[in-house]
Structure 1
């Protein structure tokens, strides 16, 4: 798909990886809707920087993606502001470090919040944009999962299961939304400088990097560049690409 002049909604667009994704798409001439949950000033600052750096249209939008009505309003507001919606990047996520054996620590409240943000939220967003992309005759969706979704690893059982669900949801939505809309997924390994990583213990971060073949964390720009590739593609759908410095092979 030719990207210049298209419109992308990036959830969590003011986060560490989200900002890199916004910049990578804006460099290609994509107009950007920066979705945030709480950090309004930061999101608006990101939007201003994108607009001035790349001469594109960018704006910040607030949304709690665990709220179905709020998701519908968000998609409507983005469509009204930009006139169209071509790309959805589901990057917003929540996690909290709970060792797997600590089943008491994995409370129902924690489980429900992680599932609501990491799995049900992206599902709601994909359903909301589906009719718009179908009517336009094209669309691209990129979900940001995790290598924790490919094996029993990660910050908590709930986080791992939510990301495994997102990977399979990608496959299912690729079937449901074809042929107009292409749906793919990226599964990063450890990423430094993100909100998700800030919730992890230092020893977990060190252990993850040391266990990779390349002995370093995954690169946020590599992930952002893969988002661009997945938005350009005409023949890849339902796929998950791992970017983790060589830890998980699937």
Structure 2
């Protein structure tokens, strides 16, 4: 039985840890021939991801780059050029700045522009740069890693929530623009117990427990839990799915998460 990513060429932005790493290693485990592992600043983490990819027998190419910069996006995509195509592009890189929702002075225009630069403009630039290699594939897919915040208006800050709502709309618009050669979908995870929460120290376990109690499925998801949904959208298994927003939040949106 053929594996979902057999012989696939995959590119994952923000793959040095968390969901990006889980997607990269998951694709390798499902048969990918090569994975482009992008990172912004965590070179050590990117190499850890690359080693995990290679452990599955796939090639791994690490590429430093800020997706908010068009030149960097083109350089990331160029790493896939020797393979002749890109079968699945996962626009996973993102950023936020935490701020209370009722404190409208906590975020300024520069904060919004910086978050949008990475969370919205970055995926657009990556998709634009990758388009020629994606169109060479007979199973091309782009997966925007968004957030339940873009659906419910929650999340770490208003700027982050707004950027993810924009990303969901971008996926919809690009699905129309790039059809029929390229499918584009958005994935909206909820809480993920990822390294982003390391800075919270002892509060991390308390938050994880609280999330598990709130969600209908009574779990606190890990990146590995969510990677399967991302990989589904990037694989031929979803070949008739485009312009969709998939919520993978253990049902948190059902209780206003």
TM-score normalised by length of structure 1: 0.91
- Give deviations 1:151-171, integer Å, cap 9, x for gaps: 221110000001111111111
Q: 1:109 is matched with which residue?
A: 110
Farther-moved stretch of structure 1 (213-222 vs 94-103): 213-222
Provide the residue aligned with 1:67 in structure 2.
69
Residue 46 (structure 1) shift: 1.7
Could you tell which deviates more after superposition, 215-224 or 225-234? 215-224
SS at match of 2:79: helix
2:61 and 2:79 in contact (8 A); partners too? no
**What is the aligned partner in structure 1 of residue 242 from structure 2?**
237
Q: Determine helix, strand or coil for the equivalent of 2:80.
A: helix
How far did 1:61 drift? Answer: 0.6
Q: How many residues align?
A: 247
State the distance in 2 between where 1:118 and 1:176 align.
20
User: In the alignment, which residue of structure 2 is the partner of 1:43?
Assistant: 46
The structural deviation recorded for 1:109 is: 2.2
Matched residue, 2:182? 181
Task: Report the Cα offset of residue 28 of structure 1.
Answer: 1.3
Compare 8-17 and 134-143 and name the one that shifted more: 134-143
Taking a change above 3 Å as real, the CA distance of residues 44 and 219 of structure 1, as seen in their structure-2 partners, is closer
Equivalent position of 1:146 in the other structure? 147
In structure 1, list runs of 5 or more residues that go unmatched: none
Contact 1:32 1:57 in 2 (8 A): yes
Q: Do the aligned partners of residues 87 and 11 (structure 1) sit closer, same or farther apart at CA in structure 2, a change above 3 Å counting? A: same
Find the aligned partners of 1:135 and 1:47 in 2 and give their Cα distance.
25
Distance 1:206 1:162 in 2: 27
Is the alpha carbon distance of 1:12 and 1:129 closer, same or farther for their aligned partners in structure 2, counting shifts above 3 Å? same
Paired residues of 2:229 and 2:248 also in contact (CA < 8 A): no
TM-superposed CA distance for 1:216, in Å, is 2.7
Change (3 A) 1:96 1:205: farther
Bigger mean CA offset, 67-76 vs 207-216? 207-216
Q: Would you say the 8 A contact 1:90–1:144 is kept in 2?
A: yes
Structure 1, 233-242 or 127-136: larger mean CA deviation: 127-136
Q: Which runs of 5+ in 2 are unaligned?
A: none
Tell me which residue corresponds to 2:226.
Answer: 223
Give the corresponding residue for 1:165. Answer: 166
CA distance in 2, matches of 1:207, 1:114: 27
Residue 134 of structure 2: aligned partner: 133
Q: What is the TM-score with the length of structure 2 in the denominator?
A: 0.88
Alpha-carbon offset, residue 207 of structure 1: 4.8
Contact 2:25 2:49 in 1 (8 A): no
User: Within 1, Cα distance between the matches of 2:136 and 2:37?
Assistant: 23
Q: Does 1:79 align with 2:84?
A: no
**Distance (Å, rounded) in 2 between the aligned partners of 1:171 and 1:199:** 34
Between the aligned partners of 1:78 and 1:193, the Cα distance in structure 2 is 28
Q: Partners in 2 of 1:67 and 1:223 — Cα distance?
A: 27
